[in-house]
Structure 1
Amino acid sequence: MDEVSSYAWIAWLVLILVFVTIEMLTLELTFLSLAIGSVGGLVSGLLGAPWWLQVLITAVIAIVLLAFVRPPLLRMLKRGGDPARSNVDALIGIEGTVVASVGENGGQVKLGNGETWTARLSPVTLPRVVAAGERVLVTAVDGATAVIVPAERIVE
C-alpha cells in the first residue's frame, strides 16, 4: 500500500489532465469541478495523507463544487445569452403571402423574411383553399412545412 500512496500523485495529475481536457470540450463546468476536486486530492497526497483520505477529500470538494458553485456559475454564464429567436423558432408568428394556393394538398407561401416554404393549413382553421395573394400567419413548423392560418383569422 505504501507504493500506491507514493505514486498516487501521478494518478491525480492524469485525472486532472483528463478532466480539464473533457471540460474544454463540453464547457458545462462539471468536469472542471472534478478537476478541482482532484487538485485537492493531489495536494492532500503531497502533504502525506493516505490514499483513502485523498479520495475522500476529492469527493467532498467535487460534490460541494457541483452542488453549490456550479449552478450559480451556469446562471451567470447564461444570463447574457442572446434572447433573439433563431432558426425555426424565428418563423413562428411571422406573416407571409400565399404564392401557390394552399388547400387540402398544401401549397406555398412567401414569408416576411423572403423565404418560400411549403405550407398547409393549421388544424384549428376550417378546411378551405387559401388563394394566392392572401396574407397568412405561421403558427408552427412541421418538418419543412409551415403550418399557417389566414390573416383574417388573426384576432388583434
Structure 2
Amino acid sequence: MEWLHDNAWAAWLGLMILLGVAETLSLELVLIMLATGAGVGMVAALVGAPVWAQAILAAVTALAALVLVRPTMLARLRSGPELTLGHDKLVGTQAVALSRITGSESGLIRLGGEEWTARAYDDTTIIEPGQRVDVLQIHGATALVHPIPEIE
C-alpha cells in the first residue's frame, strides 16, 4: 500500500494509457475523456496531492470533459461537407436544348457535355432548340427542365 501511495502517478499513468488504447477500439470519445481525467489525477499525484484529492480532480475533469467537450467534438466529427452524387449533382445546373421540348414531347439537351432526354417541367411550356434551360429535377434518365428567360 505504501508503494501505491508513493507511486500513485504511475497508477494514474497506467489507467490513462489503458483508457486511451481502449478508446481506439470504441471510437465513441467517452474513454478518452476518462483518460483525460486520469491525466489530471496523475498531475495531482506528481504535485503531491492526497489520494482523495487526486480522485476528486480526476472525476471532476472527466465529467466536465464528457459534458462540455465531447458533444462539440462529436458534432464536428459527424458533420462535414454535403456530398451530392449521381443525378442529384446535376439538379440546378443549366443546359442547352438540342431539339424541341414540350411537356408531352421529350427532346434532347446537352447537360454536362452529355446528351440527355428532357421534358418540360410545365406541360404548357415549349422549349426551342438552342434555348438555355435550368434542370429542375431528374426522373430516371429524363431531366425535367424549364427555360431561362432571355433578356434582350
TM-score (norm 2): 0.52
| 2:68 counterpart residue number | 64
| Structure 2: tracts of 5 or more residues without a match | 46-50
Question: Retained in 2: the 8 A contact 1:13–1:42?
Answer: no
- The alpha-carbon distance between structure 1 residues 136 and 55, as it changes in their structure 2 partners (threshold 3 A), is same
Cα deviations by residue, 1:16-71 (Å, 9 ceiling, x for unpaired): 23445666xxxxxx83x862x33322223433433x7534321203433346x759
Q: What is the total number of aligned residue pairs between the two structures? A: 127
Separation in structure 2 between the aligned mates of residue 134 and residue 103 of structure 1, nearest angstrom: 17
RMSD: 4.3
Amino acid at match of 1:140: L
Greater C-alpha Rg: 2
Paired residues for 1:92-131 under 5 Å: 92-99=92-99, 101-104=101-104, 106-111=106-111, 113-122=112-121, 125-131=122-128
| 1:39 counterpart residue number | 35
What is the aligned-residue identity percentage?
A: 13
| 2:21 counterpart residue number | 17
Amino acid at match of 1:146: A
For 2:98, what is the secondary structure of its paired residue? strand
For 1:58, what is the secondary structure of its paired residue? helix
| 2:143 counterpart residue number | 146
- 1:143 CA drift (Å): 4.3
Cα deviations by residue, 1:113-140 (Å, 9 ceiling, x for unpaired): 3122232212xx4525545x24231242
TM-score (norm 1): 0.52
- 1:142 CA drift (Å): 2.8
